[in-house]
Amino acid sequence: MAGVRVQVNGDSIRDFSLFFIQEGAPQQMLTVMAGEQGILFPMISNPDDEIALQDDRTFRLGLLPLEEFQDRINVGGQSQTDPQTFAEANVTIVDNDGVTVSFSQSVYTTQENMSLMITLSLDHGIATDFYVDVTADLTPGAPLAYLSLSTPVNDVFKVNFMASNSPESRSFLLTPVDDTKSEEPDEVATLSLAAVSDGRVAFGSNAQLIIEDDEGFGDVGFRVESYTFMEDDGVGRVVVDGPSNFPGGIFSVQISGGPGRQPGASGENVDRNLTSFPAVVTFDITNDDFALEPMERYTLRLTASDPIIPISRAETEILIVDDDC
């Protein structure tokens, strides 16, 4: 029960009635006995309504001799006062209920090709509308596009809450950009609450957003199983095929095997970084001007820095034919 301490100044030799004299005030009346100097007048007899964001309410509290109460308090539906027998004071009732906005989950996980519903919840009812901004602090290289209840600006959502006597929840839809690149690491963003329109609103903890890459890598490998070059070609060229959504920079091609002269040192990286597919890998062929040499045979091997990436055609055979007469 909420109340207000009232001090009656002077010698109280008569009984008084203490009551609100304003329409809309709590319907309360208290008899102040002669001689009482300080009394607690109950303002609200009902339990705390636990509804936050209510405006302060100010009412007039009146003090009137008890025997005159019935005659003076309500005449023709209007509260009456007599300056000679009536004292009054303002009483303000301040709402002390707070409200907290929280994410419904601490971690949200989705894939690039799937939208995700983000839900915000209140822990109390509210007496007035307000909004909060939800911001997404993104990792570099992880752009997001959104569909939501309102148009986002610079990765900010404005989520509106409407007045309600009970706690409510509001949701908005988040749709990541599907960039069609494969084998990307998870993209991580921090969702936080900011810029509330009412300073009495508190915020819960931030939430983490994890966006998983949903593209498979597909086949990677040499285009053909064997290439034949003439010694005086000077340069050998082979083709490596792979998906167009290749992230780049994780494959290398090495020369190995074969007797005699090789088109490069054994184990040499011919093309360390393949940045797109199809990729053309080149290497030098030495023309020594010696005739009647046997055909030379070598192997090109394709390797990946990440062992989980499948390579379906990892080797190709290189044949170098002596063309000197």
HEC sequence for 256-312: ECCCCCCCCCCCCEEECCCCCCCEEEEEECCCCCCCCCCCEEEEEEEEECCCCCCCC
Do 221-321 and 99-212 have the same topology in CATH?
yes
- For the domain made up of 99-212, give the CATH fold: Immunoglobulin-like (2.60.40)
Domain 221-321 top-level CATH class: mainly beta
For residue 37, give Cα distances in angstroms to 3, 184, 316.
16, 78, 105
Whether the predicted model's global pTM rises above the 0.85 cut: no
**pLDDT attached to residue 206:** 93
Instruction: List, run by run, the mean pLDDT of 10-residue segments along the chain (325 residues).
Output: 62 66 67 68 61 80 64 47 60 79 92 83 88 75 42 63 88 73 70 79 89 69 87 84 67 58 48 73 76 79 71 83 76
Q: Where are the domains of the chain?
A: 2-93, 99-212, 221-321
